[in-house]
Structure 1
Amino acid sequence: MSSYSGNVETGGAPDVRNLPGLRITKLSVGPMDNNAYLLECLSNEDLLLIDAANEAPRLLELVGDRALSTVVTTHQHMDHWVALEEVVAATGARALAHPDDAEGLPISTSPVVDGDRIPIGDCELEVIHLVGHTPGSIALVYRDPKGTPHLFTGDSLFPGGVGNTHDDPEAFASLIGDIETKLFGALPDETWFYPGHGKDSTLGAERPSVPEWRARGW
């Protein structure tokens, strides 16, 4: 049985989860306790990084002498891309982001939009556009053919609530609506999700609280 907990600390060791076809390595980088996720297709060792948030040397150490093909940035906030330019320069990886957030990033990125598929060797991630935390925030879902879905939510969904919409009622309404329809309405309770900061959870654990989140307005 896997010992993965998803509990990592800035400056501490990564946590690793081995699925039948995909390895997920979660690392916390400082100074804002950002989670970066290195995904490896086990059939051919293709690598993809979700959020080159900071501490490029630690991220590059995770990659090692293997080939990193892709870096996906979940949204335009600076704490999620401080290491992006350095990681891409060192590895030659292509950089992907939603076009609505691309202007906020330090390097040119190729666009990904809702419903796009991003390959990791023989595995793939599906892009889910979630408007509200930023205009171009995305989540990424891996539909494990031998298990449950695995969802990388950036700063759009955390244990306990949706991402910060800065007291903007329109942005909150958009985000909670997208979360309800595109995540809770489309994926099963056993879906494990991995946020941009802090601990993981499952959609089933959070689902009963969604009406409370909508009522409180944050």
Structure 2
Amino acid sequence: MTYTGEVAPEGAPDVRTLSALTILKQAVDPQTSNNCYLLRCHATGEQVLVDAAADAPRLLELVGGAGLTTVVTTHQHWDHHRALAEVVAATGAQVVAGAPDAEAIAEQTGVAVDRTVGDGDVVRVGECTLQVIALVGHTPGSVALLYDDPQGHPHLFTGDSLFPGGVGNTFGDAAAFARLIDDVETKIFDRLPDETWFYPGHGNDSTLGAERPHLAQWRARGW
């Protein structure tokens, strides 16, 4: 089946098989329709979950018997970590988050962040490597995760910092918007090629090439 990235909370995950990594995209919660991403290394079978957003039973079913090495929480907002405590309790996974958001995540979930990360840090999925990109604005400690497929194009998990059609919500804060659009432009669009496929925290995926022509428009409108 061809991967589209179009998922619904009541539906099955969409599965993308790369040369060394499998990506499973699962939507949860009909109200917020959060995307959760399970990444699996082909060589070792190790798995990493990006955002234990909600519906722990469904996420644990997705994880299956292979276990879970790590849960990365992309940012501190409540809708992205409601299942964190239950998933960690069931799997013993290490909890990873951006350093400026770690305290808030721990307070909101009751789960300690085992490892804080920032720009250039690495999260491993077995033999595969995810590079951390810090994106300030939606929250102080939001992170994106870059997987540069050695036999294909880059794949980028953006949380709520980048969507098709614009950057994440900065809640009317002009300074936060300026910081976020600057980070997204310099750390993502200036660095990565058009064929980079990105996976946001809600809704459908897109590519940098599809969104690049609209960067000036996003900056001008201020959101």
CA–CA distance in structure 1, aligned partners of residues 124 and 14 of structure 2: 23
* Structure 2 partner of 1:19: 18
CA–CA distance in structure 2, aligned partners of residues 83 and 129 of structure 1: 23
**Does 2:84 match 1:84?**
yes
* Structure 2 partner of 1:180: 185
Secondary structure at the residue paired with 1:86?
helix
Quote the RMSD (CA, aligned, Å): 0.6
Q: How does 1:140-179 map to 2 (within 5 A)?
A: 140-179=145-184
Secondary structure at the residue paired with 1:9?
coil
C-alpha deviation, 1:11, in angstroms: 1.4
* Structure 2 partner of 1:56: 56
C-alpha deviation, 1:78, in angstroms: 0.3
CA–CA distance in structure 2, aligned partners of residues 142 and 99 of structure 1: 20
Secondary structure at the residue paired with 1:65?
helix
String of CA shifts for 1:98-124, please: whole Å, max 9, x gaps: 110012212111111110011111101
* Structure 1 partner of 2:3: 4
Q: Return the letter of the residue paired with 1:9.
A: A
How many equivalent residue pairs?
217
String of CA shifts for 1:93-151, please: whole Å, max 9, x gaps: 00000110012212111111110011111101000000000000000000000000000
Structure 1: runs of 5+ lacking an equivalent: none
**Correspondence for 1:215 among 198, 208, 220:** 220
Q: Return the letter of the residue paired with 2:23.
A: I
**Moved segments of 4+, more than 3 Å:** none
CA–CA distance in structure 2, aligned partners of residues 113 and 178 of structure 1: 13
C-alpha deviation, 1:205, in angstroms: 0.2
Q: Return the letter of the residue paired with 1:27.
A: Q
When normalised by structure 1's length, the TM-score is: 0.99
Q: Could you tell me the percent identity over the aligned residues?
A: 63
When normalised by structure 2's length, the TM-score is: 0.96
